[in-house]
Amino acid sequence: MNKAVKLILAGVLSVSLIGVTSTEGHAATKAKAFKNCTEMQKTYKGGVANKKGLKNRTGYDKNGKPIYKKTQYTAYVSLATYNLNKSKDRDKDGIACER
């Protein structure tokens, strides 16, 4: 085969692979609203955080300083999913349904 035909075939193959991977990536990141925390924890054991690096706030000490506690599971980070389930973040620490 000549060089031009090989280049055309390589281009067509790479364009078709880009279309497949972008479709799969979009399907995996689709946000979902859950009825309650039990349902959410079946999919996301550690709950859903609105941004990376958040700590689980368990309350406040007598001086009003927040108390943080490490959780058993790591929260999944997704702003879209968190926004759909914001009402399930009772302690308002940015992590819905943490455990």
The 10s digit of each residue's pLDDT in 34-62 is 999 999 999 999 999 999 999 999 889 99
Name which residue leads in pLDDT, 90 or 6.
Answer: 90
Burial of 90 (C-beta count, 10 Å sphere; 0-12/13-18/19+) = exposed
Grouping H, G, I as helix, E, B as strand and the rest as coil, residue 14 is helix
**How large is the average pLDDT for residues 65-94?**
94
- Where do the H-state alpha helices sit in 1-99? 3-28, 37-43, 79-84
Contact 98, 47 (CB under 8 A): yes
